[in-house]
Amino acid sequence: MKTIAIAAVTAGGKTTIVNELKKQIANTKVLHFDDYSFEGEVDNYYEWTKQGADYNVWNLSPLVKDVIDIKNSGCDYLLLDYPFAYCHEGLREYIDCAIFIDTPLDIAMARRVLRDMKNATGDEIRQDMDTYLKYARVAYIQMLKDVLPASDYVIDGTKELDEKVDEIKKIILSL
């Protein structure tokens, strides 16, 4: 079995791509990072980044356990909707390939606002944008510094969904 990590910044397309790949590649299982709560989870990304951006502060034991269980299940592929590629020591050894979706931050931000703030007021959206600019953007930039170069493949996040899926599918099936 091959384990493939699909990484990107928040709203970079990880979940959409992973879910589409699962439909297209037989005998594939999926785990989504966002389905878990982890000890050590970062609340303040600005401070986390200022203190050195240690990806290992997350205790990924529950995710690692599920990866190991699936590795023993007989499926051909495990797709991880997971933002860190090889940057976390506890999960690194279980990943056979890391693919980073390089989605420009303006596109990711627009997607996040459209996805997460459907019922927000204009003031709430403006406050969120202010928080992003003052505190959160540094964490997105940190991912581009750490996770993107730590990946085996980088996919252009501006491409249409079917193009990205086809490109990643070819990579996966060649492993």
Q: Is the dihedral of CA 77, 78, 81, 85 positive or negative?
A: negative
Instruction: Point out the residues of the chain with pLDDT beneath 50.
Output: none
pLDDT at 72: 87
Indicate the Cα dihedral angle 80, 83, 89, 90, nearest 10°: -40
pLDDT at 13: 95
pLDDT at 41: 84
Residue 63's Cβ-count burial label (10 Å; 0-12, 13-18, 19+) is: buried
Please state the domain count of the chain. 1
Q: What is the largest CA-CA distance in the chain?
A: 50
Q: What is the pLDDT of residues 132-157, one digit of tens each?
A: 999 889 999 999 999 999 999 999 99
pLDDT at 23: 97
Q: State which residues form the domain around 30.
A: 2-174
- C-alpha 67/C-alpha 46 separation (Å) is 30
Residue 21 maps to which CATH number? Answer: 3.40.50.300
Q: Is the dihedral of CA 19, 21, 23, 28 positive or negative?
A: negative
Give 97-116 as a DSSP string. EEEEEE--HHHHHHHHHHHH
Q: Minimal CA–CA distance to 100: which of 7, 38, 166, 20?
A: 7
